Amino acid sequence: MAENPVIVAIDGPSGTGKSSTSKAVAVRLGLAYLDTGAQYRAMTWWMLENGIDVADRAAVAAAAAKPVIVSGTDPRSPTITVDGTDVAAPIRGQAVTAAVSAVSAVPEVRTRVTGLQRAIAAEAGGGIVVEGRDIGTTVLPDADVKIFLTASAEARAARRSAELTGKEAADVATTRADLVRRDAADAGRTTSPLAQATGAVEVDTTELTLDQVIERVVRLVDGKRRSR
């Protein structure tokens, strides 16, 4: 168990380095780790696999309770399954990416997944780093440390384009347009929109290396632990 357990909420849009930062911080500090975006992607993957029209909010809402989503919280090897199937790879595909904002905007989906997230955080006795888009605002508003990562759209697009390969590779301009579209959808949804939480420390990663971002977050968490 981690010394002096702490709950860390790391929010922000795609391409700011949330996942890499969150996993590394969790490893450094001996904490569990949860990628909440993967849970929404898993829900979206299940909807697509089962022929649910993701544009039909009523159909998505009616099916939201059906998939069994299980998230592993080891930051060195995080896992996610749906109905016992490993979906770590397919949830990153273009079809899911294109549909996840629509699915995650449905209130019934958010209620279901938020419940899963809170249960996982409550069970992480040694502390946990939880990354997403509404962790500090909605899921865990009483988190000990709240971080909001930002970066310019250009920097985020360059990072995401570099991650894509093969059929899903995209030029930076196309990736930037996709990111801006998703930002607008996530920030504009009625339920738990993407926003910086009250009390969150903003970290602009545009000009920082990943190691610099990790170090800054680790210092913030260590400072909170020492202040107790």
Q: How does residue 14 score in pLDDT terms, banded at 50, 70 and 90?
A: confident
Q: State the average pLDDT over residues 58-84.
A: 98
Residue 149 has φ and ψ, to the nearest 5°, of -85, 135
Report the alpha-carbon angle 50-51-55, nearest 5.
125
Residue 193's pLDDT is: 76
Residue bearing the bigger pLDDT, 184 or 130 = 130
User: Helix (H) and strand (E) counts for the chain?
Assistant: 8, 8
Question: In whole angstroms, how far apart are CA 153 and each of 24, 80, 119, 159?
Answer: 23, 29, 33, 10
Of 38, 39, 6, 15, which Cα lies nearest the Cα of 144? 6
Residue bearing the bigger pLDDT, 207 or 190 = 207
Rounded Cα distance, 19 and 37, in Å = 9
Residue 150 has φ and ψ, to the nearest 5°, of -130, 170
Name the β-bridge partners of 203.
149
Question: In whole angstroms, how far apart are CA 82 and each of 21, 26, 94, 149?
Answer: 25, 24, 18, 29
User: Taking a C-beta distance cutoff of 8 angstroms, is the pair 23, 78 a contact?
Assistant: yes
Question: Is the sign of the CA dihedral 45, 49, 52, 56 positive or negative?
Answer: positive
Helix (H, G, I), strand (E, B) or coil at 150: strand
Rounded Cα distance, 67 and 80, in Å = 12
pTM: 0.86
The percent of residues above 90 in pLDDT, for the chain, comes to: 71
Rounded Cα distance, 24 and 212, in Å = 12
Per CATH, domain 7-221 is 3.40.50.300: yes
